[in-house]
Amino acid sequence: MTTDPMTTDPQCIIIGAGHAADEAVMSLRREGWTGSITLVGEEPHPPYNRPPLSKTFLAAGQAPEQLFFREPGVYQRAGVTLELGRRAIAIERATRHVRLDDGRSLPFAKLLIATGARPRMIDLPGALPGDMLPVRTIDDVLAIRPFARPGGRIVLIGAGYIGLETAAMLRKIGASVTVLEAMPRVLARVTAPAVSAFFERVHREEGVEIVTGATIAGLELQGGVKAIRLADGRSFPADLIIVGIGVLPNSEIAEAAGLATDRGILVDEACRTSDPDILAAGDCTRFTSAHYRASVRLESVQNAKDQARTAAAAICGKPARYDALPWFWSDQYDVKLQIAGLSEGFDAIALRGDATTGRSFAAFYLKAGEVIAVDAVNRPKEFMVGKKLIAARAHVDATRLADEAVPVADLAR
């Protein structure tokens, strides 16, 4: 039975304590939700900013509190109960309750699932607990910090954005860094070969050893020091191994409750699941992109916050249509990469600037002549223009995009 969200003290429960959960709490109050709000998070920390984990938090010795979005008193004043260090283990749709790992069962009128994603890990023969760590939580990075020192030998498995960002920060600290990537190039799943080649060059210039096409065989001891061994016989001593090979959506609790899932929790344009009283937002969701007309699951702060606002509006009886254009960023050394759109399926690329020797260029991705994405490296103007071109479904000749004699502003005309 659907419950009217404006009845006396209805309970809204949010499962998760990341970017989406925090945004949802404040958006619910802005949208007029007057009932109770309970936020359930597995970590002992309140919602916090995750992008700095692989950057400043790793290097600067900041206290965890410096990452928190808000002082705990802000939630209290907003009428939000924080259930931290608690795990939601089941959604009981028939009775409209969420069961927690401490045995309690919390009633809800509306439920928002914002469980995010968890790191993929690998099972290496010979590995002990603590030998391999992801970069996903405050506690992960606190465990990495003792090894993040000048001369520390760290091997990173995976050359995606998290792996490369972590490698960059570790090199700034002075650690010895090796990156092992199974694919033939770094960032192979998300960028064109020219962009991959750029980042490989930059990291090698900064002293990172990059090994592509790497098949990992296991761990071994070399004079009492652990080393990671490849199938071709090469080995790399490591004081610590960091794993950055992607994430998996935390959608199991939704699937067990009988909600529609497909490599994520399926939601509509208002972030509603197959149960209209249960919504979902953030990395755990899969939805049909209005712009790309394709099923997508996005791992970004922007998507988490935008979906959370959309879900909050729907919970308060003001459903809106989520159709934000995806955008992302990555900071590595003196390189700021800004990405707009999704490049999957591109059939042409236009490079504006020198990607082979410098550290400033833009890569425009096209499909059947339409601009569908842009990777802007230290090129904020191209990033902004690229967003406009993508939103407008603009068709621009690739040679014009690449011609730096054409002013950036003119590309959008």
Average pLDDT of the residues in 162-170:
97
pLDDT surpasses 60 at 50:
yes
Distance, in Å, from the CA atom of 394 to the CA atom of 241, rounded to the nearest integer, reads 44
Over the Cα atoms of the chain, what is R_g?
23
Average pLDDT of the residues in 1-14:
64
Taking residue 391's Cβ as centre, other Cβ atoms within 10 Å add up to 14
pLDDT surpasses 60 at 214:
yes
Q: Exposed e or buried b for every residue in 183-203, given b needs 16+ CB within 10 A?
A: eebbbbebbbeebbbbbbebb
Average pLDDT of the residues in 159-188:
97
Amino acid identity at 174: G
Average pLDDT of the residues in 280-298:
96
pLDDT surpasses 50 at 7:
no
Average pLDDT of the residues in 16-20:
98
Between 226 and 13, the higher pLDDT residue: 13
Confidence grade of residue 314 (pLDDT, cut at 50, 70, 90): very high
Average pLDDT, the chain: 94
Average pLDDT of the residues in 149-157:
95
Confidence grade of residue 261 (pLDDT, cut at 50, 70, 90): very high
Residue with tokens 């939704």: 254
pLDDT surpasses 70 at 246:
yes
Average pLDDT of the residues in 304-318:
97
Average pLDDT of the residues in 361-378:
98
pLDDT at 1: 34
pLDDT surpasses 60 at 243:
yes
Give the H or E element holding residue 357: none
Residue with tokens 């790399």: 236
pLDDT at 223: 66
Average pLDDT of the residues in 259-263:
97
Cα atoms in the 13 Å half-sphere on the side-chain side of 86: 20
Confidence grade of residue 125 (pLDDT, cut at 50, 70, 90): confident
Residue with tokens 């002549």: 369
pLDDT surpasses 50 at 247:
yes
pLDDT at 123: 85
Determine what percent of the chain is predicted with pLDDT higher than 70: 97
pLDDT at 413: 84
Cβ pair 394, 370 in contact under 8 A: yes
Render pLDDT for 174-201 as a digit per residue (tens, 0 to 9). Answer: 999 999 999 999 999 999 999 999 999 9
Pairing relation of β-strands 235-237 and 225-230? Answer: antiparallel
Among 39-43, 110-114, 125-129, 208-212, the range scoring the smallest mean pLDDT is: 125-129
pLDDT at 224: 63
